[in-house]
Structure 1
């Protein structure tokens, strides 16, 4: 019933069509961006410095290495987050939307004249999107555990309670998802703003005590530190990546806030606060090396430990909420682009369109998070699983962005290639560093990503084979309707809407009506829903209407991958084009295909069986397209692939 199609690539900075962010003030949007976009990267100081100086990295805890390590963190934030994401990647907006699938759509549109390259970029982008789900499992686990472990600093006897408390917080977080985040979301910005202010202030306090840590601002300290490690530098890089996790959120959440508020939040508060806190932790360790057991919470005097554990837990929950909401949005995009079967999708706010809840995704993420917490048992162990999926996603983003800037924006080849090579080299170093942690847990998000990639590619390929089978076996629509005589069969005085995937073949439901009921409706609408590789389609471009024969019309409804596919509302737009579809006198006829796997050249047998299982368990077409329950007639048909 739906399929992704191509459209022209958006120019850099083009505004979205489906929403007007300008209606909200820049200050409000910036505050919202602080709360939603920067939760993940903002909680990285909880565990990053501690992981850099673990015995496995081979980095000795001394003043020179502290200056060098903090310098690496600061300049990694500058190069990867500021230069790559804030300055460059945020320009690659797909009509105001960002994220892995939005960038994939831009890249594939830019090379649509090269079908083979387009197909490979599409697969690469989908694989990058699947890695995001691995991040959506690891982020809540590591952030919440890292915050709750602050109890051990208050009293080592509390260590036994860290695991159950972490599981309790995470369980509560996923249980409240069905109520939506519009109420809690109002406090995200102020809480994270307080978090970053506290990070900055406590950092300044310790920098004043050990001002020699300011040498970390010199990029040569980072270079010398890395060169001194030799081949052992890769072990350390795997730990430094922890400071960068959450960078993809800057791009993924662009559609909610816009590029300008995200940039303003980063440059005015988030980046300075992170710099000051990392230098503060370095200064603390210069004076008190035994604070390495938990340098973040050891920054604070004992009377402030309990409030900081509470604030850190709140920040961790917010960071987790951001990736969970991102997983919902990513799933919705994947469904509408044809990479996942339909699922139950609930809108949790009448005012905020982007707030959705997908039960199947929620419970799958909860199962993954609980498994991760029980399997790894601590934030340090989880940190071993963290990074490899994120850095691979960063590398994929760099590759896709090259085709956008070179093929889509037509930037000169030397500039596009030079910028891409610089960032690709950085990404490759980070991936290599994280690859060393593969056996320590890095396999976990990769296994999740690969499993989802198999599922998504199987669904997309299966739908293509299904459409091909229907087209081969179906009757051509135009000759069929032209051959019908008005007085040959009974006419029901209603409008029939036949939802089809292929608008050129006769709907199976219509043939069933003729064969079994010997009746045609007075008005017959052959309707196709088309999803485009752009986020939004305006109402002016929503419908196409074509008269085929007396009593027969062909209608195409167009939606972007961020639009809500409300079919009755869209059909109401047909009236100015000469086709009136009365709400209370219309029946919707749907065909539910029962897929029959067969031996042949389609897909491997196990993939055909997987596709058949997914197809049987796909969500309701009527619910997905907002059709009225009392006006839907569903007919089954068996299709071989």
Structure 2
């Protein structure tokens, strides 16, 4: 709350006489004078302070929960990568197989790509770079923002570092590299914008995956009907796919918890069947394909095919589509659960499936265009077709859930327009559903399916989205490795040379097919990035405007003392985004409505660059001096996965926390007074120097005045609460300042205001009751 969490409660300070006040006795603390001196970063721009960090701790989940989540993750995370065998070989050999050993070269390529990227990079490296259990591009960005001051909004407070989940380990004296990188990032405005834009691009690409995954997976599965009957035309396959997609997106509102338990058995059956068919084909057709474990076949494949081999990488990379879902969906599950399900089920099943298809193609190279369905034994064709369609539907779930998670993160960090976030599970944190985004994804997905009709062009588009996200994730993870993990630089170089070079090679290949459908995810990402950047840019401009025009303490006193202003019974909550000082809209309100409630709290809802803020550390209060004004400032701190409209009304929680602050503040005043009396009226520098504690254990401390003042203040608060609560919210109209250039006018006057008018308003996001809401209008010239 308002004091350092490091202070220990050691005893109760007993008053000289029993007080008639019914309030509980003040709790004593053992405090040093330097702990009593506190910065007030609700007034001072806090990014001037250096944070002090400790070691981060996480509570490990029980094995029962981990295994449940591992089972659920099979249905949610791996549907996409699990259904890749439907189309990988046909997408790689688009012009047919020219040499029989090319099959071994591509198989070797697939095996080592799956081993390097999904298994080694994501499961054993990237998943460790989580933000208190949450993954995705913005989780990495928030982790970097907590460690280095690279955020573009100056709302960082020194008190934020006291939150237990916020803490990170600072670089030690032996490792200076982390400090140098951190310092370089903090000094470079270009680096700050680059990190923000890279995070936005990664987010946009993940959302793009949420559009392309359903299209390619469902179309691939439904196309199996053509193998069974000639009466099914391409047009019918498209419309059957559209109907399935609409049903899939309609199912999202039930949440990841129910979706996971529903889908996990089906995907488990899918993995069992594709691995079983793989073993069958391996034994029946050509067991010698096991030679592909030798990477020499990759080298020979490139020697024989040269440029064509490089182009074919765009098809081979589809074997790892959906890999980013393991990281983006991490908030729905846990690191250990993802590791168990990937290593125990997904990885071996996929390897067996690709080996089996390669064995089949060695004897049937002319059937490469429909490898998956042709390789199924005749007796189980229809059961396999049904499971394939169901698995393809489920495959879409991975990136849809990932899109929801990553949008929630960017929303909380001021990088996405306001949308409603629904928490769908009381058992598992981080499982969310966003209605507006769900409908937009559904419409975009249907449009892509109808427009492209076949998987070939969608595959070209899909490859670009997949590899772009992976490359951006690697760039951010390298920063985490250097600055936060502080691992040996040789290991970082090894990561860049092996994994980084593989990803760049794949990226160069998929970009080659830019004009053959590859433009789609980039166009979609640019569109989303424009929206996100406009929102974030104006959001920052508004914050700086309020910071530059904040109301000083002297102006507050002047407003209250004005003969035109009267105090009326009631409790008022004044919402603002400003965490340092009092927003300018308060002065505007007082000038136009000269009546202030008996208790007034300026509340700033602040999102921290972290996943969760413990409830007991969420509220940070300060007084507006003098105390007789009964005015307070409060910063309510949330992480990007915290629920902001809890079951209990926000106003009730606020009042309870305010009472706790008043009691704690009375203790603080009593201890300060006794320290000063003990040291002749001033804090002792000697005590600060030698680290001695001011020990007030067992002493009779005369704090009757503090108890009486506390009782009166809480009584005023209770009467104001009983008279009724009013929520005051700024309805800020933002316009470009006079003389602004045409670009700035377009961004602020048209683009931003169009987005703001057509999306959810703040009172809906925070569930503020309309009958007690008063909006205060003011125009900001930015």
TM-score band, normalised by shorter chain: over 0.9
Partner of residue 744, structure 2 = 604
Counterpart for residue 626 of structure 1: 767
Alignment match of 2:207 (pick from 120, 129, 133): 133
Asked if the contact 1:33–1:189 (Cα under 8 Å) also holds between the matched residues in 2, the reply is yes
- Asked if residue 184 in structure 1 is aligned to residue 325 in structure 2, the reply is no
Cα distance change, pair 638–258 in 1 and its aligned pair in 2 (3 A):
same
1:426 offset after TM fit, Å? 0.8
Give the match for residue 223 of structure 2: 149
Tell me which residue corresponds to 1:387. 463
**Partner SS state of residue 527, structure 1:** strand
Task: Tell me whether 1:562 sits opposite 2:641 in the alignment.
Answer: yes
Counterparts of 1:186 and 1:482, CA distance in 2: 59
Cα deviations across residues 592-623 of structure 1 (Å, max 9, x unaligned)? Answer: 11122344269533322212222333412112
> 2:156 aligns to what?
none
Partner of 1:175: 250
Deviations 1:405-434 (A, max 9, x none): 001111222322332232221111000110
Other structure's SS at 1:386 match: helix
SS of the residue corresponding to residue 417 of structure 1 reads: helix
Unpaired runs of 5+ in structure 2?
Answer: 1-41, 150-182, 663-713
In structure 1, what is the equivalent of residue 734 of structure 2? 595
User: 2:78 and 2:55 mapped to 1: Cα distance?
Assistant: 23
Q: 1:466 to 1:375 in 2, by over 3 A?
A: same
* Aligned counterparts, 1:381-460, within 5 A: 381-460=457-536
Contact map agreement 1:542 1:570 (CA 8 A) in 2: no
Partner residue, 1:194: 269
- Equivalent in 24, 28, 31 of residue 68 of structure 2: 28
User: Superposed, which structure 2 residues align to 1:432-581 within 5 Å?
Assistant: 432-472=508-548, 474-485=549-560, 488=563, 489-504=565-580, 506-507=582-583, 510-549=586-625, 550-566=629-645, 567-568=650-651, 571=654, 572-578=656-662
Return the offset for 1:141.
Answer: 0.4
Q: 2:58 corresponds to which residue? A: 15
Choose the corresponding residue for 1:337, options 413, 427, 436: 413
Q: Contact between 2:414 and 2:536, CA under 8 Å: does it hold in 1?
A: yes
SS in 1 for 2:487: coil
Greater CA drift, 309-318 or 555-564:
309-318
Deviation at 1:510, TM superposition (A): 3.6
Aligned to 1:68: 105
Deviation at 1:162, TM superposition (A): 0.8
- Per the TM alignment, residue 282 of structure 1 is displaced from its structure 2 partner at its CA by 0.9
Contact 1:104 1:121 in 2 (8 A): yes
* Residues 30-49 of structure 1 mapped to structure 2, 5 A cutoff: 30-49=70-89
Give the C-alpha shift of residue 573 in structure 1: 3.0
Larger Cα Rg: Structure 1 or Structure 2?
2
Contact 2:569 2:723 in 1 (8 A): no
- Take 2:52 and 2:277, find their aligned partners in 1: how far apart are those partners? 46
Counterparts of 2:723 and 2:57, CA distance in 1: 40
2:117 alignment partner in structure 1: 80
User: For residue 103 of structure 1, what is the aligned residue in structure 2?
Assistant: 140
State the partner residue of 1:93: 130
2-side partners of 1:375 and 1:10: how far apart? Answer: 53
- Where 1:295 maps in the other structure, the secondary structure is helix
Q: Secondary structure at the match of 1:103?
A: helix
Give unpaired runs (5+ residues) of structure 1.
none
Change (3 A) 1:256 1:24: farther
C-alpha distance in 1 between matches for 2:742 and 2:614: 37
For residue 125 of structure 2, give the secondary structure of its aligned residue in structure 1.
helix
Provide the C-alpha distance between the structure 2 equivalents of 1:330 and 1:629, rounded to a whole number of angstroms: 30
Q: 1:281 & 1:540 partners in 2: Cα distance? A: 56
* Number of aligned positions between the proteins: 633
CA offset at residue 4 of structure 1? 13
Q: CA deviation at 1:224?
A: 2.5
TM-score normalised by the chain length of structure 1: 0.93
> How far did 1:350 drift?
4.7
CA distance in 2 between partners of 1:407 and 1:603 (Å)? 37
Shift of 1:352: 4.5
Q: Note the C-alpha offset of 1:505.
A: 5.0
Cα 1:182–1:398 shift into 2, 3 Å: closer
Aligned-partner Cα distance in 1 for 2:308–2:54? 43
Q: TM-score, normalised by structure 2?
A: 0.76
CA distance in 2, matches of 1:133, 1:327: 5
Q: CA deviation at 1:369?
A: 0.7
| Contact 1:513/1:520 (<8 A) preserved | no
CA distance, structure 2, for counterparts of residue 291 and residue 133 of structure 1: 34
Answer yes or no: is the 8 Å Cα contact 1:381–1:441 preserved in 2.
yes
Q: Distance in 2 between matches of 1:89 and 1:340?
A: 24
- For residues 477 and 631 of structure 1, the distance between their equivalents in structure 2, rounded to whole angstroms, comes to 28
Please state how far the C-alpha of 1:197 moved relative to its aligned partner: 0.8
Answer whether contact 1:200 1:274 (CA < 8 A) is retained. Answer: yes
Deviation per CA, 1:288-308, whole angstroms, max 9, x where unpaired? 233323111122233422222
1:282–1:4 distance in 2 versus 1, CA, 3 Å: farther
Residues 402 and 417, structure 1, Cα contact 8 Å, conserved in 2: no
Please name the residue that 2:443 is paired with. Answer: 367
Q: Tell me the SS of whatever aligns to 1:344.
A: coil
Match of 2:238 among 163, 180, 183: 163
Q: Give the Å deviation of 1:10.
A: 9.9
Look up the SS of the partner of 1:525 in the other structure: strand
The answer as to whether partners of 1:238 and 1:433 remain within 8 angstroms in 2 is: yes
Report Cα offsets for 1:156-182 as digits up to 9, x if no partner. 322342111000001112233334454
Following superposition, the deviation at residue 517 of structure 1 comes to: 3.3
Which region of structure 1 is more displaced relative to structure 2, 497-506 or 314-323? 497-506
